[in-house]
Amino acid sequence: MSEEKSLNFIEEIISQDLALGKYESILTRFPPEPNGYLHIGHAKSICLNFGLAKHFGGKTNLRFDDTNPAKEDIEYVDSIKEDVKWLGFEWAKECYASDYFDQLYAFAVILIEKGLAYVDDSTAEEIAQQKGTPTVPGTGNDYRNRSIQENLELFAAMKAGKFADGEKVLRAKIDLASPNMHMRDPLLYRIKRAHHHRTGDAWCIYPMYDFAHGQSDSIENITHSICTLEFIPHRALYDWCIEQLGIYASHQYEFARLNMTYTVMSKRKLLQLVEEGHVESWDDPRMPTISGMRRRGYTAGSIRDFCDRIGIAKRENIIDLSLLEFCVREHLNKIAQRRMVVTNPIKLIITNYDKGEEVLHSENNPEDPNGGTREVPFSNELWIEREDFMEEPTKKYFRLGPGLSVRLKSAYIVTCESFEKDAAGNITTVHVTYHPDSKSGQDTSGMHVKGTLHWVSAKHAVPVVLNEYDRLFKVEDLAAAEGDFKDYINADSLKKVIAYAEPALSNDGLDARFQFLRKGYFYQDTKSTKDHLVFNRTVTLKDTWAKEQKK
RNA sequence: UGCCUGAUUGUGUAACGGUAGCACGACUGUUUUUGGUGCAGUUUGUCUUGGUUCGAAUCCAGGUCAGGCAACCA
């Protein structure tokens, strides 16, 4: 009982708020802008926001922060909803900042009436210049002194489409000398004639983030508005708007965004990878997007577990990819169907096997006692991995070599008698004799071997394509790497290999999770068909032999 | 030469003035019909200098380092 998990700092705040009776229940929100696909960094935020609500008995809204029609699209809205659902979360309400455009406009009018906002005719460059720098205070302009009446009329004219794009903006009148740059008369509205995916052409002025986000939170009665660290300087403005408008006081809290080794986590960079063809699409299995990871074979549960393990804090961080891999292996180990697939084959001929063929049985998952077995055809001609035979075995090599014995998984123990090479000196065929009394499950041979190999009966084998993925980038910390991030793209992040699979694989469902014995975890690609099976490697198995060899 | 965050082992994350713990990684050993899994173990850490205190990762002061802030983006 005393080993309850310690609370993160946001959970501390909420549990205090609740204990103090500040709220009866909490309401959080996940507020993506529909301008791209969600990635693992968003998953952290989703798990946080929905997790908080679940933990404290509250609710979470899904809100699209769609205030910039130039970049947004319904395609993204749909993918975001799909991803959140797939991750296993249900939102209380589906909201859109654009649903509040009328209300937001009314809020702006209130600020103008209070003398706290004005229409500025300056160009973007002039405004930037007048803002000063972090160490030099900004300077005002004459527009700042316009009368309330004039501002009211001009703002109405802006809305009515009387001005060209960029001709005027609405600004808050706060403090041009503030040490916080965001308080130096921030822009509230800009004129932009762009077709909005929901409001169409009804508006030609759109609110800025700072004027839309906090008020949207307030309108929905969000109690805890959680965002990432870069919004810390915005908080003063967030609070200012709410206070001046006298509306429901939502509060903003910030945590550190997720960074991961060997990948990038910004929509801009991910978009670049897609547009420049470094990957196939947003859901390319090498992408850190939710859709990419789903296609690669990650389970929603393993992603939730990952988000749970990385924790929530305010310091910058970079999480090892190995933690994500650990989470998915741990889950997949429990649920994946075991199958045998040979990727780089050499022929194994059993010289004393005269039964022609027989059907053997192999367990689907040794971790699951109720997992059952499947039929695996066996014959005197098999495929085995090229790397499972060594002409001159080294000391700790437990596999096949002249005179050596191994077990064929779920079948018999075989002993190598001879082998053949082609003209180039490559091994082509290995001849073995099998031990009839060593049959799996009824072994009376008394023999003990160190190695067990996976195999596929040659005449029953089904050809499949395997996408073997590796990390997208060659360096751990892209943020610390100098120059263009694209210089560090791993050119070998995808290897397509043709492999021989046991026939059971062609009868398995599309959603099945597989472990190809001794190879890794695989998941059928979205483009896979019955006649052309394609599997994506989610993650390899841990390979202590490979490590041993490197020594 | 401003303001705002932050600094605990290789990477994350706890410890709320009282034994610096947990996870991943790495490394041993062991089990195993997957060199997988499981099990047992090991693993040079509180940025720095002062101060307060019986006692400081924690409180205070100074310093150092890292990140953020000057888009008609979110």
Residue-by-residue DSSP string for A188-238: EEEE----BTTTBTS-SEEE-HHHHHHHHHHHHT-SEEEEEGGGGGGHHHH
Contacts of A377 (CB under 8 A, 6+ apart): A357, A358, A359, A360, A457, A460, A502, A503
Distance A93 CA to B57 C1' (A): 43
A267 is catalytic: yes
| pLDDT at res. A118 | 98
Name the helix (H) or strand (E) containing A239.
helix A235-245
**A146, A267, A295, A374: which is the annotated catalytic residue?**
A267
Q: What pLDDT score does A70 carry?
A: 97
Predicted confidence at residue A4, as pLDDT, reads: 62
The C-alpha atoms of residue A42 and residue A169 are separated, in whole angstroms, by: 32
Distance (Å, whole) CA A122 – CA A143: 8
User: Whole-number Å distance, CA A318 to C1' B12?
Assistant: 8
Residues in chain A: 551
pLDDT of residue A3: 47
- The Cα–Cα gap between A329 and A322 comes to 10
**What was the pLDDT predicted at A508?**
85
Closest nucleotide to the alpha carbon of A412, via C1': B33
Q: Where are the alpha helices (DSSP H) in A131-207?
A: 148-159
pTM: 0.96
Our measurement of CA A320 to C1' B25, in angstroms, reads: 8
A33 belongs to the catalytic site: yes
Strand partners, A381: A349
Which nucleotide across the nucleic acid strands is nearest to A138, CA versus C1'?
A: B70
Q: Tell me whether residue A75 is one of the annotated catalytic residues.
A: no
Q: Which residues of chain A have pLDDT under 70?
A: 1-4
Nucleotide nearest to A261 (CA to C1'): B11
Amino acid symbol at A99: D
End-to-end CA, chain A:
45
E-assigned strand segments in A23-175: 27-30, 59-64, 94-96, 117-120, 169-172
Q: Which nucleotides of B are covered by protein (CB under 7 A)?
A: 1-8, 10-16, 23-27, 33-38, 66-74
Of A144, A193, A257, A269, the active-site residue reads A257
Task: Give the CA A49 to C1' B10 distance in Å.
Answer: 30
- The region that residue A541 occupies, defined by phi over 0 for left and psi between -120 and 50 for alpha, beta otherwise, is beta
A153 CA to B9 C1' in angstroms comes to 64
Determine whether A199 is exposed, middle or buried from the number of CB atoms within 10 Å of its CB (0-12, 13-18, 19+). middle
